[in-house]
A and B are shown apart, each in its own frame.
Chain A
Amino acid sequence: MATVPHSLNDKSVTRSFKEKTGKMLGVNPQDAKFTKTYMFVAFAALLLGGILGLLQGLNRAGFMELSPQHYYQVLTAHGLLLVVVFSGFFCIGYFYAAMSHTLGGLLPKVRKMAWTGFALKIAGFVLAVIPILMNQASVMYTFYPPMAASPVYYIGLALIVVGIWLCCFGAFIQVANWRKQNPGKHVPILSFFATGVFVLLFFGSVPVAIEVLVLVLPWSLGWVDTINVMLSRTLFWAFGHTYVNIWYMTAVSAWYVVIPKLIGGRRWNDTLTRVVVIALVIMNITGGFHHQIIDPGIEEPIKFMHVFMSLAIGFPSLMTAYAMFAVFERTSRRQGGKGLLGWYKKMPWGDVRFLAPMIAMIGFIPAGAGGIAQSTNQLDQVVHNSLWITGHFHLTLGISVALTFFGISYWLIPHVSKRVLTRKMNRFGVVQTILWTVGMIFMSGAMHTVGLFGSPRRTAFTTYFDNATALSWNPYMTLIGLGAILLVIAAVMQVYAAFNLMFFAPKGEEEFPIAEAEVGDVTGYWTERWGLWVALLIIVVAMAYVIPLTDMIVNAPPGSPPFKTW
């Protein structure tokens, strides 16, 4: 293992030099435009998706009539807008800004690739939405065969994947180029996170590309008669699970790198931070099987192995939990705070850039615990496909990921728009953060509870012919509706803030907050061996998937023809 020790001195020299050049050049206007466009799309999607979410919440609460067909159309669009557009565009816009900022601007070639990716994704999204609007694709974003949407829907999804790949390759070229020009140096931490995220994004989307291009598209076009249902579903989740964790990693990057700066501290141990990234990259894809714990056609020993593979992902998250509280404690002690818990008095709670991701982190404690619980076979059997699951991912995505993204937007959007976050807008943001949190607590809490009683997800308003059990769920459904109302108010406020900070806020410079490493924190250069990490990722994926996939192909039943059941 080659380690490159560098003396403190020359580290601080390069640092101040970098800071100066950063100040001199400011944000590269072309890179800023790229990120701004991504943010614009992301928050437009949040607005639309939030309004659709409100319709769902009101319908399930029985406040508003919506025909079942419309409910499922709306739900398909809500899923797609929020998980594919909002989270997906935010993540790429943020990491491209981070690469531009920490690697000295994007290469023209990279910028071109990323814009091409943007165009493909938008085109793909439009193609996917048209059949949804025409009631030809109410198959949800999971599109489990043998429900078959219009082929146009799948072509749209395929274009989105190709667009994402272009952004991945752009990032690889950018980082590789920086490494060539800075031999022996560590990739700056946010770009290290970006590398991990784009590696996962690429490898994680290979299975879904295979699913769509090889299995689903030819079948929906009528070129083949039947499809292997289990194989499609398994390939989907190898992707779907990874995708979710990519946003989680994006949020985590801000927890490790941005939050310490906002509280006036320094980062957690650099090597361990990088180890967390590497661990998440290597172990993530195989988690997909926990979405199939009660499926037929997968043997129990395989399911048991996968419980381990899923729980293993909990380990880096538990490292993160420790790291965060250690940073808080250390920072507050330096500022005169006392005791193990005295840190909370020293935190800038009134700063939305801190408050939002902080609540996101706190929310991850119950969210992560719930995740660990439902990864085990028997507990999953209790909650699978119930509203518990919907509650779970509104906690993980709606709190841990979305609130972190919101917090980032309050500095990133003014940073790339050459505007500032005013005190007034900050206060507005604090109120918005609190409203969103309260709304999510209501909605997600009620979903978790009623899910335990057996109320299913993805189901339009129903009392199941006035069944007593189903009627007893109604009070919780009302809470879901109330939560949805609070949430949509907060969503509209957030979108207003994003657009205001982009186009109307006072001009100025807003900082890109990146905390420094601790003095004397020396990182092992072995953390930069991406070839090895990718090789390990492939080995782990092979261990997890070769046996069950072979079984699903070799012992497959006759396939299924397409059905349109809506």
Chain B
Amino acid sequence: MHRSEKVWLTLSFGMIMLFMLATGYQSYALEMGPPSNMETIDPQKVDQTAPFDNPGVKQIGDNEYEVVMTLQVFSFNPGKLEFPAGSTVHFTLTSKDVVHGFQVANTNINAMVMPGHIQKITQKFDKPGEYLVLCNEYCGAGHQMMATTITVK
């Protein structure tokens, strides 16, 4: 092996380790890990199971909200949400039918929402404006209409 190759491979290895460290630091020190909630639910009994028997928005603190939301073809329930600027919002999500995605454009919200699993994701909304919420996993003939908005005032 040439010296230059050893240097290249060492750099390559270093770069990969750097990516690992950055990912680990963000996941564990900054608690920015990807949405990975482990709770489950009977997908055929979502409407009868707490908290999804009562989907909606609940204020749980100063500037802090909890949203319990179901996803189904081809809608988000509840939709058209509104929060004051600076709110931290905790979303608790599940699907009543097929696999959906929960994405809010121009934020870091992006999570898969599966039947049988309860997904959780949190976001702080600082900038006022209208945010587009959309389903980003193909879920059927109306998939391109599965959207709503979050308005931050």
Chain A positions within 8 Å of B, measured between CB atoms, are 68-69, 72, 138, 140, 144, 146-147, 229-230, 233, 269, 272, 292-300, 303-304, 307-308, 311-312, 314-315, 318-319, 322, 326, 372, 375-378, 380-382, 384-386, 453-454, 456-462, 464-465, 467-470, 555-561, 563, 565-566
B137 at the interface (CB under 8 A from A): yes
Chain A contacts for B119, CB-based, 8 A: 296
Q: Of B8, B19, B104, B140, which one neighbours A322 at CB under 8 angstroms?
A: B8
Q: B29 CB to closest chain A CB, in angstroms? A: 12
Contact B143 A563 (CB under 8 A): no
The reply to whether A311 and B34 form a contact with Cβ atoms under 8 Å apart is no
A140 touches B138 (CB 8 A): yes
Q: Which of B54-62, B63-71, B93-101 contacts A (4 or more CB under 8 A)?
A: B93-101
Chain B residue nearest to A386 (CB atoms) is B136
A266–B19 Cα distance when bound, in Å, is 35
In the complex, chain B residues whose CB is within 8 Å of the CB of A311:
16, 19-20
Residues of B within 8 A of A378 (CB): 23, 26-27, 32, 34, 108
- Given A68-B142, A560-B43: A300 and B134 within 8 A (CB)? no
Given A146-B99, A303-B34, output 7 extra A-B contacts at Cβ < 8 Å.
A147-B99, A294-B36, A319-B12, A376-B22, A385-B112, A386-B103, A462-B144
Closest to B2 in A: A326
Residues in A whose Cβ lies below 8 Å from that of B149? 467
Q: Determine the distance from Cα of A295 to Cα of B118 in the docked complex, in whole angstroms.
A: 10
* A557 and B117 within 8 A (CB): yes
Complex Cα gap A229–B112 (Å): 12
29 contacts between A and B (CB under 8 A): A72-B138, A140-B138, A230-B117, A295-B36, A296-B117, A296-B118, A297-B36, A297-B117, A299-B36, A315-B12, A322-B8, A378-B27, A380-B34, A381-B34, A381-B35, A385-B137, A386-B136, A453-B105, A454-B106, A459-B138, A462-B145, A469-B106, A555-B38, A557-B41, A558-B44, A558-B116, A559-B43, A560-B116, A563-B73
Interface centre among B117, B139, B144 (most CB of A within 10 A): B144
Q: Which residues of B contact A230 (CB under 8 A)?
A: 114, 116-117
Contact, CB under 8 Å: A458 / B143 = yes
CA distance A561 to B9 in the complex (A): 50
When distances are taken between beta carbons in the complex, the residues of chain A under 8 Å from B5 are 322, 326
**Do residues A558 and B43 form an inter-chain contact, with CB atoms below 8 A?**
yes
- Taking CB atoms, residues of chain B closer than 8 Å to A375 are 19
How many Å from the CB of A405 to the closest CB on chain B?
Answer: 27
Residues in A with CB closer than 8 Å to B26 are 377-378
CA distance A68 to B116 in the complex (A): 28
Contact with A along B69-95 (1 / 0, CB 8 A): 000010000000000000000000000
Task: Give the CA-CA distance A470 to B9 in the complex, in Å.
Answer: 43
What residue of chain A has the Cβ atom nearest to residue B120's Cβ? A296
Report which B residues bind A (CB closer than 8 A). 1-2, 4-5, 8-9, 12-13, 16, 19-20, 22-24, 26-27, 32-38, 40-45, 73, 97-99, 101, 103-106, 108, 110-119, 130-132, 134-145, 147, 149
* Contact indicator B98/A147 (Cβ below 8 Å): yes
Residues of A within 8 A of B143 (CB): 68, 72, 458-460
* Complex contacts, A557 vs chain B, CB 8 Å: 40-43, 116-117
Distance A561 CA – B112 CA, assembled complex (angstroms) = 19
Can you name the residue of chain A whose Cβ is closest to the Cβ of B135? A456
B40 touches A294 (CB 8 A): no
Query: Do the beta carbons of A381 and B110 come within 8 Å of each other?
Result: yes
**B97–A565 CB distance below 8 A:** yes
Q: Which residues of B contact A563 (CB under 8 A)?
A: 73, 97-98, 140
Q: What CA separation (Å) do A14 and B47 show in the bound complex? A: 75
Q: Do residues B141 and A294 form an inter-chain contact, with CB atoms below 8 A?
A: no
B137 surroundings in chain A (CB, below 8 A): 144, 385, 458
Q: A315-B16, A380-B34, A565-B140 are in contact. Are A464 and B111 (CB under 8 A)?
A: no
Most chain A Cβ neighbours within 10 Å, of B1, B20, B132? B132
Contact of B36 with A298 in the complex, beta carbons under 8 Å: yes
Kindly list chain A residues whose C-beta atoms are within 8 Å of the C-beta of B22: 376
Provide the residues of chain A in CB contact with B106, threshold 8 Å: 453-454, 469
Separation of A461 and B13 alpha carbons in the complex (Å): 42
- Chain A residues contacting B115 (CB-CB under 8 Å) are 146, 229, 560
Residue pair B147, A467 in contact (C-beta under 8 Å): yes
Contact A468 B130 (CB under 8 A): yes
Pick from A297, A307, A319, A384: contact of B114, CB below 8 A: A297
CA distance A453 to B103 in the complex (A): 11
- Given A307-B20, A372-B19, the answer on whether A377 and B34 have CB atoms closer than 8 Å is yes
With both chains docked as a complex, state the minimum distance between the C-beta of B118 and any C-beta of chain A, in angstroms.
7
- Are A384 and B141 neighbours in the complex by a CB distance under 8 Å? no
Contact partner of A296 (CB less than 8 A), chosen from B20, B38, B144, is B38
A560 to chain B, nearest CB (A): 5
Residue of B nearest to A555 (CB): B40
Point out the residue from A300, A312, A456, A556 that lies within 8 Å of B40, measured CB to CB: A556
Q: Are B134 and A456 in contact, with the CB atoms below 8 A?
A: yes
Expressed in whole angstroms, the minimum distance between the Cβ of B25 and any Cβ of chain A is: 10
Q: Which residues of A contact B110 (CB under 8 A)?
A: 294, 381-382, 384-385
> A295 contacts which chain B residues (CB < 8 A)?
36, 112, 114
Query: In this complex, what residue of A is CB-closest to B39?
Result: A296
Contact (Cβ within 8 A) B134 A296: no
In the complex, chain B residues whose CB is within 8 Å of the CB of A453: 105-106
Max chain B Cβ within 10 angstroms of own Cβ: one of A454, A465, A468: A454
Task: Considering the complex, give the chain B residue whose CB is closest to the CB of A272.
Answer: B1
Report if A464-B132 is in contact (Cβ < 8 Å); known contacts: A146-B98, A314-B16, A458-B138. Answer: yes
B97 contacts A146, CB within 8 Å?
yes
